[in-house]
Structure 1
């Protein structure tokens, strides 16, 4: 036994065995001199390379590895004891949407550093993530982590937690950082599950329905998180995000949604085609609905044009202004009321606790707009 081993085994007393599996034994220990609480992990010697690399990391979202060494042909790692709840326990209650985004950001921050060391965690799941009372995330349990080998076609062992492990962890291919991205996608899905469910429409599109207690901003955030989760969990690794950095860029768009930052693949929403798909009658890919909507819109337009052009006592120069205002009198309130092009959210940042108050506010503002334009139109026609 060398000096390092002698120091740890003499200075630390065992308090409890936290876990004892075929792969790893986890022991809670205390320094008899300083009363510092640490965790000893005893595992196969092949884990030494992983823990040597983790020891060099300085990332607040990754468990701090204080030391690691070989003892009796076993790898012994000494880690900080992270005080807090496991994410699986935190998920027993609904997590606020903004906190979910922050959790994902922190997990990405940790995984990015791990992947930069060429380490694949392979067991990213709620049980292996600790959340402290300040909502700080720490990723733990690198027991089955491995160093990616470029020359390997598949992993030598099939390891991972069913439900969170990627398909390639069961022998389809070698695991890499995209395997952890798959697990991250499942995690995101778990966190937003209380707020969202997807329904596949006849047109083939998937629409995300969220809880009634969400604001418009939160609805959009959940919608984007669902899309992110879906892309992370593609069966084929090449269809997933290529790296954690790519996910972090997406998170920037999600987190700053209220600053009108749009994802590149969402720019279509601002195109003519994208806006048309938000108009009542065109939201679902139903031909009958479209025909009825077109007939209705044309007839309403024609009616208002007739009203505008037949206004009496209007000076010739004001006639077209009257036509425009008479159209605006119903078009603008209608756009706001039905939220065409997501205009409501883009011009209003106020949050509402309940959808009912949000709809009341929308109706009220639409009426105010209608009255304001009507008053302007009346003033012009009476001149």
Structure 2
């Protein structure tokens, strides 16, 4: 059995996740306590290795206690980024949504429903990688029940069926993600204030339909729409950059001294973590850290 050294609790809550270190490898992990009833679902989760989900290394059970050892994520959750006004750019929000749909695609493929998608359960690492975390509310979906035995989720983000109207399924997670995108855009739930952002509005409306039949039916479908919106956003951005007024402005201030600056800057940024990929949203995260 692998041995760990407990270092410190990560929150002030009861049964807080604990930062631990693998004594043999010196690797930092997070030790979390879960209800023993989640054992089968967590074992399914342990089989998954995906960049947008935390890697689970070990599950330990003792009588009625269950402890899970998972990857320690260096970064901030989306709720923290929102409070610090660090997630206001449309491209960042769309990239965030795209990453979460990719995590959901693999979960739903295994018939696992997350059921608690909200800003505090979405992490952005120091390298700009998005990870969907916390599995206290997960359940296995087989379509055999009229409603969930246990009603879990977070008020405001939980889908209507999570209140006992029907059984939750993959469309429930997509509803919650739609709410998250709206909150990222205007810091309010859709029913309070719907975003007017042209790249997000229709996306949010469809994802948060009351009837699951009227929502996106799969994470893959929602991801396709997000990717299309990203492409439209990039096209519109490139179009603006090519207008004569911008060209004239850049030409006016061009001289020998300034012409050397971009070359140096591009070489410098090409080796800076967060700027190497050329993704604007990763650059923003890199500046924050």
Going by fraction, where is helix more abundant, 1 or 2? 1
- Is 1:42 matched with 2:33? yes
Spell out, residue by residue over 1:221-247, the C-alpha distance to the aligned partner (whole angstroms, 9 max, x if none).
x31311111111111111111011111
TM-score with structure 2 setting the length: 0.75
Identify which of structures 1 and 2 has the higher relative contact order when contacts are C-alpha pairs closer than 8 Å and 6+ apart.
Answer: 2
Divergent runs of 4+, >4 A? 19-22
Going from structure 1 to structure 2, the CA distance change for 1:192 and 1:85 (only over 3 Å counts) comes to: same
Among 21, 33, 45, the residue aligned to 1:54 = 45
- Is 1:91 matched with 2:66? no
CA shift at 1:75, angstroms? 2.5
**Which segments of 5 or more consecutive residues in structure 1 lack a partner in the other structure?**
1-6, 201-205, 210-221, 261-344, 362-383
CA shift at 1:20, angstroms? 7.9
Among 5, 9, 19, the residue aligned to 1:17 = 9
TM-score with structure 1 setting the length: 0.58
CA contact (8 A) 1:192 1:226 kept: no
SS, match of residue 14 in structure 1: strand
Partner of 2:120: 127
Spell out, residue by residue over 1:264-298, the C-alpha distance to the aligned partner (whole angstroms, 9 max, x if none).
xxxxxxxxxxxxxxxxxxxxxxxxxxxxxxxxxxx
Partners of 1:256 and 1:122 lie apart in 2 by 29
Partners of 2:180 and 2:106 lie apart in 1 by 19
Going from structure 1 to structure 2, the CA distance change for 1:25 and 1:150 (only over 3 Å counts) comes to: farther
Partners of 1:136 and 1:145 lie apart in 2 by 22
Going from structure 1 to structure 2, the CA distance change for 1:20 and 1:75 (only over 3 Å counts) comes to: farther
- Is 1:251 matched with 2:251? no
- Is 1:231 matched with 2:222? no
CA contact (8 A) 1:258 1:349 kept: no
CA contact (8 A) 1:20 1:26 kept: no
SS, match of residue 30 in structure 1: strand
Task: Please identify the structure whose Cα radius of gyration is greater.
Answer: 1
Spell out, residue by residue over 1:76-131, the C-alpha distance to the aligned partner (whole angstroms, 9 max, x if none).
21101111001101112143221211111111111111111100001111111111
- Is 1:350 matched with 2:234? no
CA contact (8 A) 2:90 2:199 kept: no
Corresponding residue pairs, total: 242
**Which segments of 5 or more consecutive residues in structure 2 lack a partner in the other structure?**
250-289
SS, match of residue 6 in structure 2: strand
- Is 1:73 matched with 2:64? yes
CA contact (8 A) 2:115 2:173 kept: yes
Going from structure 1 to structure 2, the CA distance change for 1:169 and 1:258 (only over 3 Å counts) comes to: closer
Q: CA RMSD in A?
A: 3.0
Partner of 1:182: 175
